[in-house]
Amino acid sequence: MNAIKIKMTVLIILGAVISIQAARLVVRLRQQRIAVSHHQAKCKGNPRAILKIVEYTDFQCPACAKGAEVLKQYHLVYPERLYVEYKHFPLEMHPKAMSIAIAAECAAQQKKFWPFHDLAFERQNLLRESVNLSGRLKEIAGLSGLNQQVFLRCLEDPKTKEAIARDKDEGKLLKISATPTYFINGKMVVGGNALKQELEKSAGRLP
């Protein structure tokens, strides 16, 4: 009877493994069918680079700020090896993330996304502690060279928020749950440290 019990145990484990693997296959097939959108203004680098990176980040996330710094350094040292595309993934636990994302999206519409992005991450602590967020964002817009009137109109436009929601929905379909999440040539990498390790392996170490 013990032998039968052991056989039944093995069958139950096999059954569980097969069921879960089948479910994972279905999930992966669904993910492959996801149509990923591209916004040229939020891309930078060499389109023929060996490393194509899609990042899903949140402007209020400290780990994302570190990741942004790593990517900036790599762009400076290895400009030909990287092509980076930014996607919004503001987390609900960060109350100011959506507002900053909207402002950054408006900067993208004026083709000034990356200067705005860099300043927003550099001033992340300031933005988090600020009681006048819109004032701070207008300041960053000014420093990034944006037309303020166009910027302010864009902030109120519901299509701007929709663009961010599209990025986030795409991220959720790709099973992103934390920021920063990067896809380096399709390989998922979560966290700034993991990004640095992956870049060191693929592009080389920073001097």
Partner 1 sequence: MRKLNFFLFLRGIVAAIFIVSGTEKLLSPYENFLYVIQNYQILPYPWMEKMVALGFPWIEVTLGLFLLLGLWIRGTLLGLAGATASFIFIVSQAIIRNLPINSCGCFGDLVKVPLPVILTMDSLILVSIFLMSYNRTRILLLSLDRYFDQKS
Interaction between residue 4 and partner 1 (CB under 8 A): yes
Choice from 35, 76, 93, 131 touching partner 1 (CB under 8 A): 93
Which part of the chain contacts partner 1 (CB under 8 A), choosing from 17-25, 52-60, 68-76, 146-154? 17-25
Choice from 10, 12, 18, 34 touching partner 1 (CB under 8 A): 12
Residues 52-71 that bind partner 1 (CB under 8 A): 62
Interaction between residue 32 and partner 1 (CB under 8 A): no
Interaction between residue 202 and partner 1 (CB under 8 A): no
Question: Three-class SS of residue 37?
Answer: coil
Count of residues near partner 1 by CB under 8 A: 28
For residues 207 and 205, give the distance between their C-alpha atoms in angstroms, rounded to a whole number: 6
- Assess contact for 102 and 161: CB atoms under 8 A: yes
Interaction between residue 23 and partner 1 (CB under 8 A): yes
The distance in angstroms from the start CA to the end CA of the chain is: 66
Write the CA distances from 77 to 54, 72, 86, 195, 199, integer angstroms. Answer: 19, 9, 20, 16, 12
Minimum separation from the CB atom of position 4 to partner 1 (A)? 7
Choice from 1, 29, 35, 76 touching partner 1 (CB under 8 A): 1
Here's the x/- map for partner 1, 154-193, by CB under 8 A: it reads as ---------------------xxxx--x------xxxx-x
For residues 38 and 21, give the distance between their C-alpha atoms in angstroms, rounded to a whole number: 31
- Assess contact for 173 and 29: CB atoms under 8 A: no
Minimum separation from the CB atom of position 73 to partner 1 (A)? 21
> How many CB atoms sit inside 10 A of residue 158's CB?
6
Write the CA distances from 88 to 35, 69, 78, 79, 178, integer angstroms. Answer: 16, 17, 25, 23, 12
Interaction between residue 34 and partner 1 (CB under 8 A): no
Q: Which residues, listed in sequence order, are joined to residue 196 by a DSSP beta bridge? A: none
Shorter beta-carbon distance to partner 1: residue 103 or 189:
189
Q: Contact positions toward partner 1, by CB under 8 A?
A: 1-2, 4-5, 8-9, 12-13, 16-17, 20, 23-24, 27, 62, 93, 175-178, 181, 188-191, 193-194, 197
